[in-house]
Amino acid sequence: MSIERYNPRDAEPRWQQKWNEEEVFVTDNADPREKYYVLEMFPYPSGRIHMGHVRNYAMGDVVARYKRARGYNVLHPMGWDAFGMPAENAARDNKVHPKEWTYQNIASMRTQLKAMGLSLDWSREFATCDVDYYHRQQMLFIDMMEKGLVYRKKSKVNWDPVDNTVLANEQVIDGRGWRSGALVEQRELTQWFFKITEFSQDLLDALDTLDHWPEKVRLMQKNWIGRSEGLTIRWEIVPDTAPNNDREITVYTTRPDTLFGASFLAISADHPLAKEAAAKDAAIEAFCEECRRAGTSLAALETAEKKGMDTGIRVRHPFDPSWELPVYIANFVLMDYGTGAIFGCPSGDQRDLDFARKYGLPVVPVVMPADGDAASFTVGDIAYDGGGVMINSRFLDGMSTDQAFETVATKLAETSIGNAPQAERKVNFRLRDWGISRQRYWGCPIPVIHCDDCGVLPVPKQDLPVRLPDDVTFDQPGNPLDRHATWRHVACPQCGKDARRETDTMDTFVDSSWYFARFTAPWENQPTDKNAANHWLPVDQYIGGIEHAILHLLYSRFFTRAMRETGHLDVKEPFKGLFTQGMVVHETYSRGNGLTREWVSPADINIEEVDGQRRATLLSSGEDITIGAIEKMSKSKKNVVDPDDIIASYGADTARFFVLSDSPPDRDVIWSEAGVEGAHRFTQRMWRLVSEAADALKTIESKPAKEGDALAISQIAHRTLKAVQGDYDKLAFNKAVARIYEFVNALAGPLSRVATGGADAGYRAAVREAVEILIALVAPITPHLAEECSAALGNTNMIATSAWPVYDEALVIENEIVYPVQINGKKRAELTIARDADQNAVQQAVLALDAVKSALNGQAPKKIIVVPQRIVNIVV
């Protein structure tokens, strides 16, 4: 009998077609079984899938298939994050309409994903650029507007001069646009904002409930929200020192305890008082301008010198009217945090100290470490910003910093200037409202109308959707919607006069902030079917890259709250479980160096090992190639491997198996040709072993062995089943793979024995049972191979619809335990003894061992530690 090699090119499309025909992965909302929603972050339709997608979707698919087998009603949908700038860039560069470009890309990527054999419910597929989707997003926007969660304000914005658009703070990285890399400028524009700060406290508090999220992500969000507790303190201005006779300045501080160390106030260049002062003094105006300009090149901030200018304004100390302090404009004070004004305590803050030294202001230490000496404690070049004991602080002296904080807060709250308390406790957040206006075409139009008489009005819901016009041009910079001949002209919904449409579109992060909810009922006319959303949400397992730890995940958490307030769903958090997977990385190859360095694709080179050294040569010419660092796969470094090529030559199962092997899923995995071949060898080996024994097993009913030489087979099968099940529950795919290898190695002998006819019926029944378990275990990872093996055994049901096997505890438990026997903590012997042997029996048996006897040399042991089922340690 000759066994054919396993041919994925034949088997994989065949099974994919069968799953598709029988609608195995189409999910019914009304299915009564317990729900499980597994979701991978949906892709941007760039045109081709990459290995990162393969890894991400392979992980999600293992979870989906495993949970389905475990009896859950699984929702596993797929869609496209389809709005965004690359489509417009393509339009500009290649004269192709963004819509056409996007939908073509979606079509080819869909084909690629389907070739992976993912168990997705394609009937729920949508793209965020579908009118059906952004129509509902516009409805959400209007509902949020009604609830006061959307507003418009003139504000300084981050302007990307290359992409000609506004960026959110989160999209500015090191002072550069996250996409274009251009230096960001500051401009004043009227923008639309989502009131994410409405939920600052809740977004922070609820992080504690997300116990299936990585600690790292929760911490990053916590820092991003940045809660601080402090005091706003009003400082009385000395009469006739302020330009327009202003009466007071309010500062925010988290360290009111250090109030007696204050030596100046500093305000932002954008502070109203600074502006007033600038209007009357050219030097001040010039300085403010300089501060604003410096603010544009944020990259230089790291080394930026602390600079200030005395405004001439003087304020009185809250606890001592005779103590006057100068007010400076300082380049390091931000207008949009706190009140845009601070008091400087040089001894307790490094920045203030640098500033004070530069401008010759007093430095009075007011806090020293608890074990310090008040007489000798001084502050030199390094400020002391820790807690401790108050000194040089009048009535606060001797208190702890905490006590001093409380005392100052209480005293100033009881003091009044004007008709209000001098100070109030105040919680501040770093989180800012989310600016969503983008001066771009390829995004969801903001559904509002500007009327000269009636103001800014939402588009009435019956007039939705506001569709993007198709006839636009991209031959000049700026927003094509602005220069469209007719699109923006519309009648005012209130008075009927000529009015203008808003031409800004929404940040594409809006699109991805609620797509997980839309998947629960994508056919619905409203944004959600509330019952469906409440049933399916939260997503039980969300899987994606760590790069979305803040933006996408925080926005989605905000949207979930906003959608609850607007009655579209009733859940608290969108994602119950979150898993952030590592990247797929690859060696880099290059020829030449310096400016002439050229990157070479792995497909164009050959690698061989000479004297233990790996050498790379160019396939075409034999030229030597430099092997470089292992880096994230990127087009620019050409270290990419095309999933299509891998699937064509090895099959989807091999690709899936490989990206899940070896490395823990949250760490990077190194793509290597040798590694892929190892994975491929596994699929071939499994097929060969199963198909060789298939004839002998076809007519056998599977049954675990309880005794005899087949017992060991059933034991390893059930133990592996239990272990792999645990690994899948924990998403420890690499460990599952290792155990599957072990299992196959253990089954190789028995399968050959069966194949050559050397086994009785009981043995064959046990082997068949073990093989059925093996097939179930590999099925989530290599689903096509599993189906093929199962069919070879004569099974007519599909693995994709089969239940997960149940392990037998009696076969999992060891009846005999092998105890390592240590003497003084070092292993010297082993003891095999019945599982239920009591402590005494174990001790007696251990003392009877030759190795123990010779170590004791006739003496009594000092101590014997027996850890049941684990280890024995004898102290001599």
Partner RNA sequence: GCGGACGUGGCGAAACUGGUAGACGCAAGGGACUUAAAAUCCCUCGACCUUUGGUUGUACGGGUUCGACCCCCGUCGUCCGCACCA
Position 735 contacts RNA (CB under 7 A): yes
Region of 554 please: left (phi>0), alpha (psi -120 to 50) or beta. alpha
Least separation in angstroms between residue 618's CB and RNA is 20
- Give the chain's length: 876
The position carrying tokens 């003139």 is 154
Measured from the CB atom, is 339 or 437 closer to RNA? Answer: 339
Least separation in angstroms between residue 5's CB and RNA is 8
Position 719 contacts RNA (CB under 7 A): no
| Helix, strand, coil tally for the chain in percent (to 5) | 40, 25, 35
Measured from the CB atom, is 295 or 577 closer to RNA? Answer: 295
Least separation in angstroms between residue 780's CB and RNA is 17
Of 243, 338, 445, 544, the one binding RNA (CB under 7 A) is: 338
Of 104, 201, 824, 839, the one binding RNA (CB under 7 A) is: 824
Of 31, 289, 623, 742, the one binding RNA (CB under 7 A) is: 742
Least separation in angstroms between residue 230's CB and RNA is 5
Question: What is d(CA 218, CA 16) in angstroms, rounded to the nearest whole number?
Answer: 39
* DSSP three-state, residue 366: coil
Position 299 contacts RNA (CB under 7 A): no
Measured from the CB atom, is 562 or 724 closer to RNA? Answer: 724
Position 678 contacts RNA (CB under 7 A): yes
Position 609 contacts RNA (CB under 7 A): yes
Measured from the CB atom, is 104 or 824 closer to RNA? Answer: 824
Measured from the CB atom, is 220 or 413 closer to RNA? Answer: 220
Sign of CA dihedral 843, 845, 851, 852: positive
Mask for 418-447, x = binds RNA (CB under 7 A):
----------x-x-----------------
Position 337 contacts RNA (CB under 7 A): yes
| Angle, CA of 517, 545 and 642, to the nearest 5° | 110
**Are 102 and 108 in contact, with CB atoms under 8 Å apart?**
no
Least separation in angstroms between residue 290's CB and RNA is 11
Terminal-to-terminal C-alpha distance of the chain: 63
Site for RNA in 455-514 (CB under 7 A): none
**Which residues have a Cβ under 8 Å from the Cβ of 701 and sit 6 or more positions away?**
765, 768
Of 3, 107, 283, 301, the one binding RNA (CB under 7 A) is: 301
**Are 481 and 488 in contact, with CB atoms under 8 Å apart?**
yes
Measured from the CB atom, is 137 or 158 closer to RNA? Answer: 158
**Which residues have a Cβ under 8 Å from the Cβ of 286 and sit 6 or more positions away?**
none
Mask for 212-241, x = binds RNA (CB under 7 A):
---xx--xx--xx-x-x-x-----------
Provide the pairing of β-strand 367-368 with 389-390: antiparallel
Measured from the CB atom, is 662 or 709 closer to RNA? Answer: 662
**Are 141 and 150 in contact, with CB atoms under 8 Å apart?**
yes
Position 843 contacts RNA (CB under 7 A): no
Counts for the chain of helices (H) and strands (E), in that order:
26, 37
Of 457, 748, 812, 847, the one binding RNA (CB under 7 A) is: 748
Position 349 contacts RNA (CB under 7 A): yes
- DSSP state string for 773-834: HHHHHHTTTSHHHHHHHHHHTT--S-GGGSPPP---HHHHS-SEEEEEEEETTEEEEEEEEE
Of 16, 128, 165, 663, the one binding RNA (CB under 7 A) is: 663
DSSP H or E segment with residue 763: helix 761-778
Site for RNA in 528-557 (CB under 7 A): 546, 549-550
Measured from the CB atom, is 456 or 738 closer to RNA? Answer: 738
Selected range binding RNA among 77-85, 389-397, 443-451, 825-833, rule: CB under 7 A = 825-833
Position 670 contacts RNA (CB under 7 A): yes
Question: What is d(CA 811, CA 107) in angstroms, rounded to the nearest whole number?
Answer: 49
What are 381's two structure tokens? 């070049």
Per-residue burial over 293-327, b = 16 or more CB atoms within 10 Å of its CB, e = otherwise: ebbbebeeeeeeebbbbebebbbbbbbeeeeebbb
Position 186 contacts RNA (CB under 7 A): no
Measured from the CB atom, is 493 or 675 closer to RNA? Answer: 675
Selected range binding RNA among 190-198, 525-533, 556-564, 823-831, rule: CB under 7 A = 823-831
Measured from the CB atom, is 9 or 706 closer to RNA? Answer: 9
Measured from the CB atom, is 144 or 342 closer to RNA? Answer: 342
Question: What is d(CA 840, CA 873) in angstroms, rounded to the nearest whole number?
Answer: 14
